[in-house]
Amino acid sequence: MMPIEAILIEELNKGSIEAFDELFRRYAPRLHAFGLKYLKSNTDAEELVQDVFLKIWKNKNKLDKTQNFKSYLFTIAFNQIKDYFTHKLLYLETINDTLLPPDLSPLESISYQSILDNISVLIERLPSRKKQIFKLSRFEGKSSAEIAALLKITPKTVDNQISEVIHLLKSKINPSDLLTILFFYLFVN
């Protein structure tokens, strides 16, 4: 008699949504807990589960019922987490390389880096949609109209979201520092 997991994978190979749903029901909570342990964010862990199962669905015809599905699933999740941290590191390096003014003293560089780190943390804590809008605007240079078209929302919604993020950043960063003023002038406004 074939194990239930092998039967589900065989059915998934044929495109069975029911088999997919059952595998999701069985493994999503464990995968979420695994992602939460590393990503430290419920939203990011939920996105991880969605991404992993999207890959499972896209590759449903290639799944082998004789292989350990759980190992395969967690290998995909582990690779997704690695990619997440690689992209985050590249993102932070890009911010540092692009925004760090050239002629700062060591103390000013440390202060500026601290401001960038604080800003990055605040941005990463934003709700995913607001974070996406802000990054598209400030890091990718897209206009409100472009973002609105991309996300299927109104340009006014985009402007409101960006305004809320700027207000939040200004309220959380010490405005008495000259570098903070420079940062907001170059980056946020």
pLDDT computed for residue 189 by the predictor: 45
Rounded CA separation 71/81 (Å): 15
Contact indicator for 169, 119 with CB cutoff of 8 Å = yes
Torsion angle of the four alpha carbons 150, 151, 154, 159, in this order, in degrees rounded to the nearest 10: -90
**pLDDT value for 185:** 46
In the chain, list all ranges with CATH 1.10.10.10.
100-188
| 172 in Cβ contact with 180 (< 8 Å) | no
Distance, in Å, from the CA atom of 7 to the CA atom of 71, rounded to the nearest integer, reads: 17
Residue in 61, 47, 17 with CA at minimum distance from that of residue 132? 47
CATH number for domain 4-85, candidates 1.10.357.10, 1.10.1740.10, 3.30.540.10, 1.10.10.10: 1.10.1740.10
Token pair 């088999």 in the structure block, residue: 19
pLDDT in the model for residue 49: 94
Evaluate whether 36 touches 42 at the Cβ level (below 8 Å): yes
How big is the chain, counted in residues? 189
What stretch of H or E contains 87?
helix 69-99
- Please report, in tens digits, the pLDDT of each residue of the chain (189 residues total): 668 888 999 999 999 999 999 999 999 999 999 888 888 888 888 999 999 999 999 999 999 888 888 888 988 998 888 887 777 666 555 555 555 555 555 555 555 666 677 777 888 888 989 989 988 887 777 888 889 999 999 989 988 998 888 888 777 766 555 455 455 544 554
CATH 1.10.1740.10 placement within the chain: 4-85
Is the domain covering 100-188 a CATH 1.10.10.10 domain? yes
Q: What is the pTM of this model?
A: 0.49
Given a contact cutoff of 8 angstroms between Cβ atoms, the answer to whether 8 and 54 are in contact is no
- Helix and strand tally (H, E) in the chain? 9, 0
Both structure tokens of 128? 């995913």
Given a contact cutoff of 8 angstroms between Cβ atoms, the answer to whether 171 and 165 are in contact is no
